[in-house]
Amino acid sequence: MAAAIDIRPASPIDRDAWADLFQAYMAFYGCAPSDAALEASWGWITDPEGPMECLLALKDDQVVGFAQYRAVPETLTGAWFGQLDDLYVAPAARRQGVAEALMTSLEDIARARGWFKLAWITADDNATARRLYDRVGNASNWVVYERALKD
**Domain boundaries along the sequence of the chain:** 5-120
81 neighbors 20 (Cβ within 8 angstroms) = no
**Global pTM value:** 0.92
Q: How would you classify the pairing of strands 5-9 and 118-120? A: unpaired
pLDDT at position 95:
93
Confidence of residue 1 (pLDDT cuts 50, 70, 90): low
CA 130, CA 22: separation in Å to the nearest integer?
A: 20
CA distances in angstroms from 81 to 72, 74, 78, 84, 86, listed in the order given: 5, 7, 10, 10, 16
CATH superfamily, domain 5-120, is Gcn5-related N-acetyltransferase (GNAT) (3.40.630.30)
> pLDDT over 90 for what percent of the chain?
76
118 neighbors 106 (Cβ within 8 angstroms) = yes
83 neighbors 69 (Cβ within 8 angstroms) = yes
Express each pLDDT in 25-49 by its tens digit: 999 989 988 899 999 999 999 999 9
Express each pLDDT in 92-118 by its tens digit: 999 999 999 999 999 999 999 999 999
